[in-house]
């Protein structure tokens, strides 16, 4: 079965997935045109005052390290660029769209904190290794677990029970998800990305952030982006285990991390192999210390 057929089976099983918010759809459509003007993008986003306020909050957060206060959306577009602001819009909207007031509060809070940590780590890795992802690092890290949000939203207590089993039995969550549903939260994220027609490089990074049987990072549209998200996710789980506890270090997990690092050895500035785990752990501590409250 090819990937598109598998994703369609997931959609059929989970049920109707949420539609992309109209503002996001219009921003994505506009920014596909490399010549689009900032005024056009700004005019669309500014229709949503709450979204505009959140963009400015993130633009001024420690993740971006601005030396001046970003006080307007147009200034954010000038300093960060249209592509980066587009990614922030997408990230905010996914969290808002998939937010469920009835969801387990602790799990939802841990999920947001973990997602922000992975996003910050991915951005830090991009910067240190000079990979020049232009914002795709942060957004892929931020959205890597949106499949959990989908499953929590659509399956409720049934999915919570799977998470609890993973928490208290130290079993791999993806294995439990596949046993119960026939797919993992990483694949559910890719299904939503397909429904929303998100860029293939982003969808692949979401789908491959965990080991997936029969899949290789080399199959991704942007293998290094997928590798960075996988490394960042693993490092975040080690640094802050959260509700699920530390992920079991199985042979498959280690192989998945080794595969990611092997891809990143060809980065312009690769991390030294002999102490890269310590370096990434220091990055995680640095990101955590800056605060994980951008939303």
List all residues 6 or more positions away from 32 whose beta carbon is below 8 Å from its beta carbon: none
Is residue 42 within 8 Å of 77, Cβ to Cβ? yes
Collapse the DSSP code of 249 into the 3-class scheme (helix H, G, I; strand E, B; otherwise coil) and give the result: coil
Q: What is the mean pLDDT of the chain?
A: 83
CA 98 – CA 95 distance, rounded (Å): 5
What is the CB-side half-sphere exposure of residue 51 using CA atoms within 13 A? 25
Domains of the chain: 7-289 (1.10.3210.10)
List all residues 6 or more positions away from 79 whose beta carbon is below 8 Å from its beta carbon: 59, 66, 70
- pLDDT attached to residue 242: 54
**pLDDT digit string, tens, across residues 68-123:** 787 888 888 888 888 888 888 888 887 777 766 655 566 767 788 888 899 889 98
CA 176 – CA 163 distance, rounded (Å): 9
Query: pLDDT-based confidence at 271, cuts 50/70/90?
Result: very high
- pLDDT attached to residue 105: 60
**pLDDT digit string, tens, across residues 8-29:** 677 666 666 677 778 888 888 8
**pLDDT digit string, tens, across residues 170-229:** 788 888 998 988 888 998 888 888 888 888 899 999 999 998 778 899 999 999 999 999
**Tokens for 197?**
């027609």
């Amino acid at each position: 079965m090819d990937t598109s057929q598998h994703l369609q089976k997931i959609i059929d099983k989970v049920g109707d997935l949420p539609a992309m918010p109209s503002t996001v759809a219009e921003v994505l459509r506009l920014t596909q045109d490399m010549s689009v003007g900032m005024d056009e993008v700004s005019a669309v986003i500014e229709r949503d005052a709450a979204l505009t306020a959140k963009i400015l909050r993130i633009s001024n957060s420690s993740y971006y390290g601005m030396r001046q206060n970003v006080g307007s959306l147009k200034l954010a577009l000038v300093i960060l660029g249209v592509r980066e602001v587009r990614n922030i819009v997408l990230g905010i909207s996914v969290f808002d769209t998939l937010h469920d007031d009835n969801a387990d509060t602790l799990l939802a809070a841990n999920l947001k904190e973990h997602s922000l940590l992975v996003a910050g780590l991915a951005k830090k890795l991009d910067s240190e290794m000079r990979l020049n992802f232009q914002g795709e690092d942060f957004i892929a890290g931020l959205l890597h677990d949106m499949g959990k949000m989908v499953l929590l939203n659509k399956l409720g207590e049934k999915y919570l029970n799977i998470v609890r089993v993973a928490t208290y039995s130290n079993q791999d969550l993806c294995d439990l998800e596949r046993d119960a549903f026939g797919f993992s939260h990483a694949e559910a994220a890719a299904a939503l990305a397909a429904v929303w027609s998100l860029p293939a490089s982003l969808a692949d990074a979401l789908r491959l952030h965990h080991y997936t049987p029969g899949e290789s990072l080399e199959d991704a549209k942007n293998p290094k982006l997928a590798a960075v998200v996988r490394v960042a996710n693993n490092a975040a789980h080690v640094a802050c285990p959260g509700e699920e506890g530390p992920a079991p270090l199985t042979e498959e997990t280690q192989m998945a991390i080794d595969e990611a690092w092997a891809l990143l050895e060809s980065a312009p500035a690769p991390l030294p192999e002999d102490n890269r785990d310590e370096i990434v752990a220091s990055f995680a501590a640095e990101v955590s210390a800056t605060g994980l409250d951008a939303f």
